[in-house]
């Protein structure tokens, strides 16, 4: 076959980097189009200040940034450097920020980025413009630095050109052409450019282009202020024209500020002002003739506090003044992450949008792997184009949350902190009951999810009265948390509890081709009798875990699939056969589910059911379509919390009646409603993985400890060949148990042995059953149960021991009875 023709829209940092990565992999028929001139195209890259801070709570984003820094460091440009590794310094002026820097230092260690916490004097030595008296300390990352965005773009473009790529300026893409569900090219004023692959790397212009092909690319162009001072006396003579900068790039996040040198001047960027979303329609008319449509006029008033605060932090600026400034446009998204992927209904149309210079080369590499090899080697689920729930694609949601992402860009954000605006978009039929019970709601996937119930406070008191240790939490881990959750998990293990499982994504997969499709898509054997329920994995072509599912066979040709969110719907949709023999329907919102779990679950439910739901009557991992009272239900004997009981499903209109029926019947058993925090603790005790947190497409089933769900003998499935030729895993997911009953970690902390970083924590929870915190961690494969490890949490070292799995109930006596 002839080489695929690739058109990249946008010659900014993403488009040029992608042209380089794609041509480097041997696809050389690449044309890059830009609406502006080359390479100062007038987009965000043209004015990007180029600070590359690599550390990020997201491992993926950190890896993208690390690749960018490394790659830019190796680029050649006649004008000079593309990357200047001056290092990065973030300073704290509040105790909260100092603690945050400890957390940051933890992420850096977890993701393998060199960094060190410094006291105020050390910070001032590193960056002599700093007033040491103003700061409490800092975090120094020597490998961070400055990217020269335009040079890096041009240098990468030149490599691509040398391999045959073409770059064409002044080409507004007027239309994306397609036939039979595939892209065939793009049309510009100059004519048609044929293409098999079109990549939209148009930055903040991209959302408009997406619209023309029926795609919502949820980004908002935001104006952000950047100024340059005049000459700063202290800097005179320090930097050669070529070096431009020698001091570390600096962040003062308590005041939403960052700084870099421009020779003997200082550049200051500011996020403290109100969000300034840019209306694209007016931008297009207002700037039609402008060289730099992405640079809006400076608004002095918005910058006044920034200047004041800058003089406090860097007093020598007092002799200087703001000499120039502008409000530069770049893209913000609802969750602050980039947007990557292929259009589901227009194959060959790809998106690489909302990418900072910081992450650009890493994103481009992953895109090239995805386009050419079929899957990126880095886990990109956090950036996937199809990660958004439906309400999150509304204009209201996109504007509101992207503005919030701007406000929070330098904020200290708790991992369990949830959106405050646009809440209540999805509520289960049990919602009013939950409110009555004093539920504290977390938000997830636009659903309201009870985290714990204040009505269970007396149970916590009972636990205290019987002498149970309830660990005190530090202020950080005590946020978005209540010890009531401990009482809820104990009550589940000792009696019975009701869990609202409605937000669990579920699909109906039906039709004569349903079994074949699911067999091809997943690793376990699903060709079992009606009533069977199977835990199974979806792999990508490289054998990485895309998701873990439960599949219930409700009839010979219809299956209910319990899934992990919108990405599963997207993946399955892409694999549907063309012949119409399978239909896929998201039934999450039209149905609901209560998990009734605990040793007394059967006593509670059996009297409501005419069918036999004894241990033999409805076996473990079997389902039954029956009635509870007058309510039609599907019961599945599955338990993510590791207790006797069922997930009980019904359609939405019966939901409230089902809840009330169970609640009434449970009175004699003291049934409680229990929340997500207890749920999470119990599943961690039981060794059950949470996809996205504990395992992703970067991991094989064996490494993640879920290879029991892989049955090669059943026949072909996606990823099977890759698994057969896979090397032995070098890292394994393990359960670790902390020694100190008061030790708490939350996830993403580094794991060390003898002072050297060996891995990182994925998720963690306090286990009431064993009275210790349990965590999952990715560790070298030769570290085994019984081995000791250290976990760094906010500057303290917690000792833990690798445990056999599961930690609780390895003999399954609680579930199988």
The span of 246-254, 340-348, 404-412, 560-568 binding ligand FFO (CB under 6 A) equals 560-568
Non-local CB neighbours of 189 within 8 Å, separated by 6+ positions: 171, 172, 174
Taking the complex as a whole, how short is the minimal distance between the CB of residue 715 and ligand FFO, in angstroms? Answer: 18
Cα separation, 351 vs 18, whole angstroms = 11
Which lies closer to ligand FFO via its Cβ, residue 564 or residue 696? 564
- Binding to ligand FFO, residues 667-686 (CB under 6 A): none
CB 123 within 8 Å of CB 138: yes
Instruction: Note whether 621 binds ligand FFO by CB under 6 A.
Output: yes
Cα separation, 490 vs 670, whole angstroms = 13
CB 196 within 8 Å of CB 5: yes
Residue 188 β-bridge partners: 173, 191
Cα separation, 258 vs 268, whole angstroms = 6
Which lies closer to ligand FFO via its Cβ, residue 356 or residue 535? 535
Taking the complex as a whole, how short is the minimal distance between the CB of residue 712 and ligand FFO, in angstroms? Answer: 16
Q: How far is residue 67 from each of residues 70, 144, 152, 719, measured CA to CA in Å?
A: 5, 11, 13, 27
Helix axis angle, 95-110 relative to 59-74, nearest 10°?
70
Taking the complex as a whole, how short is the minimal distance between the CB of residue 587 and ligand FFO, in angstroms? Answer: 12
CB 105 within 8 Å of CB 139: yes
Cα separation, 246 vs 238, whole angstroms = 8
Which lies closer to ligand FFO via its Cβ, residue 258 or residue 688? 688
Helix (H) or strand (E) holding 159: helix 149-162
- Binding to ligand FFO, residues 699-728 (CB under 6 A): 709
Query: What is the DSSP code string of 489-537?
Result: HHHHHHS-EEEE-TTS-EEEEESTTHHHHHHHHBSS-----TTBEEEEE
User: Which of the residues 196, 548, 568, 694 is marked catalytic?
Assistant: 548
Cα separation, 101 vs 761, whole angstroms = 18
Query: What is the DSSP code string of 307-334?
Result: HHHHHHHSGGGGGS-EEEEEEEEEEE-T
| Active-site residue flag, 271 | no
Taking the complex as a whole, how short is the minimal distance between the CB of residue 748 and ligand FFO, in angstroms? Answer: 20
Instruction: Note whether 549 binds ligand FFO by CB under 6 A.
Output: yes
Non-local CB neighbours of 255 within 8 Å, separated by 6+ positions: 93, 272, 305, 306, 309, 313
Q: Which member of 430, 491, 688, 776 binds ligand FFO (CB under 6 A)?
A: 688
Which lies closer to ligand FFO via its Cβ, residue 418 or residue 620? 620
Which lies closer to ligand FFO via its Cβ, residue 510 or residue 552? 552
Cα separation, 561 vs 585, whole angstroms = 10
Quick one: 580 exposed, middle or buried, by C-beta within 10 A (0-12, 13-18, 19+)?
exposed
Nearest residue by C-beta to ligand FFO?
562
Which lies closer to ligand FFO via its Cβ, residue 91 or residue 551? 551
DSSP 5: P
The span of 269-277, 556-564, 731-739, 762-770 binding ligand FFO (CB under 6 A) equals 556-564
Taking the complex as a whole, how short is the minimal distance between the CB of residue 321 and ligand FFO, in angstroms? Answer: 57
Q: Which residues of 485-497 are buried (b: 16+ CB within 10 A; e: fewer)?
A: bbbbbbbbbebbb
Number of residues counted as binding ligand FFO (CB under 6 A):
16
Angle at 703 between CA 780 and CA 646, to 5 degrees: 130
Taking the complex as a whole, how short is the minimal distance between the CB of residue 688 and ligand FFO, in angstroms? Answer: 4
Handedness of CA 94, 95, 96, 97 (dihedral sign): positive
Which lies closer to ligand FFO via its Cβ, residue 310 or residue 588? 588
- Binding to ligand FFO, residues 194-213 (CB under 6 A): none
Instruction: Note whether 388 binds ligand FFO by CB under 6 A.
Output: no
Q: Which member of 203, 429, 562, 747 binds ligand FFO (CB under 6 A)?
A: 562
Direct distance between the N- and C-terminal alpha carbons of the chain, in angstroms, rounded to an integer: 59
DSSP 805: S
Q: Which member of 113, 398, 592, 638 binds ligand FFO (CB under 6 A)?
A: 638
Residue spans of beta strands (DSSP E) within 93-162: 116-118, 137-141, 145-147
The span of 75-83, 419-427, 447-455, 545-553 binding ligand FFO (CB under 6 A) equals 545-553
Cα separation, 753 vs 784, whole angstroms = 13
Which lies closer to ligand FFO via its Cβ, residue 552 or residue 723? 552
Instruction: Note whether 42 binds ligand FFO by CB under 6 A.
Output: no
Instruction: Note whether 640 binds ligand FFO by CB under 6 A.
Output: yes
Which lies closer to ligand FFO via its Cβ, residue 644 or residue 743? 644
Q: How far is residue 736 from each of residues 244, 687, 688, 710, 762, measured CA to CA in Å?
A: 48, 11, 14, 25, 11
Q: Which member of 317, 490, 504, 514 binds ligand FFO (CB under 6 A)?
A: 504
Instruction: Note whether 107 binds ligand FFO by CB under 6 A.
Output: no
Taking the complex as a whole, how short is the minimal distance between the CB of residue 127 and ligand FFO, in angstroms? Answer: 46
Instruction: Note whether 564 binds ligand FFO by CB under 6 A.
Output: yes
Angle at 176 between CA 170 and CA 182, to 5 degrees: 140
Instruction: Note whether 445 binds ligand FFO by CB under 6 A.
Output: no
User: Which of the residues 127, 224, 273, 803 is marked catalytic?
Assistant: 224
Instruction: Note whether 807 binds ligand FFO by CB under 6 A.
Output: no
The span of 81-89, 135-143, 447-455, 558-566 binding ligand FFO (CB under 6 A) equals 558-566
**What is the per-residue binding string for ligand FFO in 736-775, x denoting contact by CB under 6 A?**
----------------------------------------
Which lies closer to ligand FFO via its Cβ, residue 397 or residue 535? 535
Which lies closer to ligand FFO via its Cβ, residue 294 or residue 523? 523
Alpha helices per DSSP H over 624-675: 655-665
Instruction: Note whether 259 binds ligand FFO by CB under 6 A.
Output: no
Taking the complex as a whole, how short is the minimal distance between the CB of residue 535 and ligand FFO, in angstroms? Answer: 4
Q: How far is residue 68 from each of residues 21, 37, 558, measured CA to CA in Å?
A: 12, 24, 47
Instruction: Note whether 694 binds ligand FFO by CB under 6 A.
Output: no
| Active-site residue flag, 258 | yes
Q: Are strands 249-252 and 88-92 parallel, antiparallel or unpaired?
A: parallel
Instruction: Note whether 441 binds ligand FFO by CB under 6 A.
Output: no
Report CA 623 to chain centroid distance, whole Å.
Answer: 33
- Binding to ligand FFO, residues 511-540 (CB under 6 A): 535
Q: Are strands 506-510 and 558-562 parallel, antiparallel or unpaired?
A: antiparallel
DSSP 277: B
Instruction: Note whether 442 binds ligand FFO by CB under 6 A.
Output: no
Which lies closer to ligand FFO via its Cβ, residue 303 or residue 679? 679
Instruction: Note whether 554 binds ligand FFO by CB under 6 A.
Output: no
User: Which of the residues 67, 226, 258, 259 is marked catalytic?
Assistant: 258
Q: Which of 616, 670, 613, 257 is nearest to 455 (CA)?
A: 670
Non-local CB neighbours of 22 within 8 Å, separated by 6+ positions: 6, 8, 30, 160, 368, 371, 372
Instruction: Note whether 647 binds ligand FFO by CB under 6 A.
Output: yes
Taking the complex as a whole, how short is the minimal distance between the CB of residue 384 and ligand FFO, in angstroms? Answer: 17
The span of 292-300, 577-585, 604-612, 634-642 binding ligand FFO (CB under 6 A) equals 634-642
| Active-site residue flag, 224 | yes
Cα separation, 72 vs 63, whole angstroms = 14
Taking the complex as a whole, how short is the minimal distance between the CB of residue 297 and ligand FFO, in angstroms? Answer: 50
Instruction: Note whether 550 binds ligand FFO by CB under 6 A.
Output: yes
Instruction: Note whether 253 binds ligand FFO by CB under 6 A.
Output: no
Which lies closer to ligand FFO via its Cβ, residue 294 or residue 428? 428
DSSP 607: G
Instruction: Note whether 735 binds ligand FFO by CB under 6 A.
Output: no
**Residues making contact with ligand FFO (CB under 6 A):** 504, 535, 548-550, 562-564, 621, 636, 638, 640, 647, 688, 690, 709
Q: Which residues are catalytic?
A: 224, 258, 548
């Amino acid at each position: 076959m002839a080489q695929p023709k690739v058109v990249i829209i946008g010659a900014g940092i993403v488009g040029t980097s992608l042209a380089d990565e794609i041509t480097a992999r041997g696809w050389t028929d690449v044309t890059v189009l830009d609406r502006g001139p080359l390479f100062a195209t007038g987009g965000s890259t043209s004015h990007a200040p180029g600070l590359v801070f690599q550390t990020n709570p997201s491992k993926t984003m950190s890896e993208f940034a690390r690749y960018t820094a490394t790659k830019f460091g190796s680029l050649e440009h006649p004008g000079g450097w593309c990357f200047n590794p001056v290092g990065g310094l973030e300073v704290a002026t509040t105790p909260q920020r100092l603690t945050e820097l400890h957390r940051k230092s933890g992420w850096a260690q977890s993701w393998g980025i060199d960094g060190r916490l410094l006291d105020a004097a050390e910070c001032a030595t590193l960056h002599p413009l700093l007033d040491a008296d103003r700061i409490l300390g800092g975090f120094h990352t020597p490998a961070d630095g400055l990217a020269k965005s335009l040079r890096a773009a041009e240098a990468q473009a030149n490599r691509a050109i040398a391999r045959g790529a073409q770059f064409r300026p002044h080409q507004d893409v007027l239309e994306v052409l397609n036939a039979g569900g595939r892209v065939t090219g793009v049309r510009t004023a100059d004519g048609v450019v044929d293409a098999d692959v079109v990549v939209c790397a148009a930055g903040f212009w991209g959302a408009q282009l997406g619209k023309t092909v029926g795609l919502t690319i949820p980004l908002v162009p935001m104006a952000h202020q950047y100024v340059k001072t005049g000459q700063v006396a202290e800097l005179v003579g320090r930097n050669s024209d070529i070096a431009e900068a020698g001091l570390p790039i600096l962040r003062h996040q308590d005041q939403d500020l960052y700084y870099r040198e421009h020779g003997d001047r200082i550049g200051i960027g500011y996020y403290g002002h109100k969000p300034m979303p840019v209306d694209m329609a007016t931008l297009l008319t207002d700037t039609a003739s402008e060289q730099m449509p992405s640079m809006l006029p400076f608004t002095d008033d918005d910058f006044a506090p920034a200047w004041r605060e800058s003089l406090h932090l860097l007093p020598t600026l007092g002799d200087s003044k703001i000499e120039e400034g502008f409000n530069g446009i770049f893209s913000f998204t609802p969750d602050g992450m980039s947007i990557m992927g292929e259009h589901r209904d227009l194959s060959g149309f790809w998106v690489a949008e909302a990418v900072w210079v910081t992450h650009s080369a890493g994103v481009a590499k992953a895109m090239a792997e995805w386009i050419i090899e079929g899957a990126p080697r880095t886990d990109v689920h956090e950036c996937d184009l199809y990660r958004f729930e439906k309400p999150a694609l509304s204009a209201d949601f996109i504007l509101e949350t992207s503005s919030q992402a701007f406000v929070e860009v330098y904020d200290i954000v708790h991992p369990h902190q949830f959106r405050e605006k646009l809440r209540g978009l999805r509520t289960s039929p049990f919602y009013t009951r939950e409110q009555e019970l004093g539920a504290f709601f977390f938000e997830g996937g636009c659903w309201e999810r009870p985290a714990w119930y204040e009505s269970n406070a007396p149970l916590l008191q009972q636990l205290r009265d019987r002498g149970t240790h309830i660990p005190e939490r530090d202020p950080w881990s005590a946020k978005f948390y209540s010890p009531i959750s401990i009482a809820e998990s104990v009550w589940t293990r000792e009696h019975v509890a009701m869990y609202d499982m409605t937000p669990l994504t579920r699909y109906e997969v039906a039709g004569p081709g349903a079994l074949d499709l699911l067999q091809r898509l997943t690793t376990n054997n699903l060709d079992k009798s009606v009533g069977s329920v199977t835990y199974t994995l979806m792999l990508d072509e490289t054998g990485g875990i895309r998701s873990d599912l439960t599949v219930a066979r409700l009839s010979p040709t219809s299956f209910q699939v319990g899934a992990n969110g919108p990405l599963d719907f997207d993946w399955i949709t892409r694999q549907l056969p063309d012949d119409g023999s399978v239909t896929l329907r998201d039934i999450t919102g039209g149905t609901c589910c209560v998990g009734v779990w605990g040793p007394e679950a059967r006593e509670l439910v059996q009297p409501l059911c005419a069918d036999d739901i004894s241990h033999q009557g409805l076996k473990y991992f079997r389902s039954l379509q029956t009635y509870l009272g007058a309510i039609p239900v599907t019961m599945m004997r599955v338990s993510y919390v590791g207790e006797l009981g069922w997930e009980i499903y019904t359609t939405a209109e019966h939901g409230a009646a089902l809840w009330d029926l169970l609640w009434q019947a449970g009175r004699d058993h003291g049934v409680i409603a229990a929340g997500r925090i207890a749920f999470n603790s119990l599943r961690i005790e039981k060794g059950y993985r949470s996809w996205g947190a504990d395992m992703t497409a970067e991991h094989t089933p064996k490494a993640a400890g879920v290879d029991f769900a892989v049955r090669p003998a059943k026949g072909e499935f996606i990823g099977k060949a890759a698994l057969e030729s896979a090397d032995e895993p070098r890292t394994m997911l393990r359960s670790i148990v902390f020694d100190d009953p008061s030790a708490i970690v939350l996830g993403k902390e580094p794991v060390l042995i003898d002072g050297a970083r060996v891995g990182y924590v994925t998720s963690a929870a306090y286990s009431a059953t064993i009275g210790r915190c349990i965590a999952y961690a990715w560790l070298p494969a030769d570290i085994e149960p019984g081995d000791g490890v250290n976990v760094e949490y906010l500057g303290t070292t917690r000792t833990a021991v690798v445990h056999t799995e599961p930690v609780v109930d390895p003999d399954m006596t609680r579930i199988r009875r």
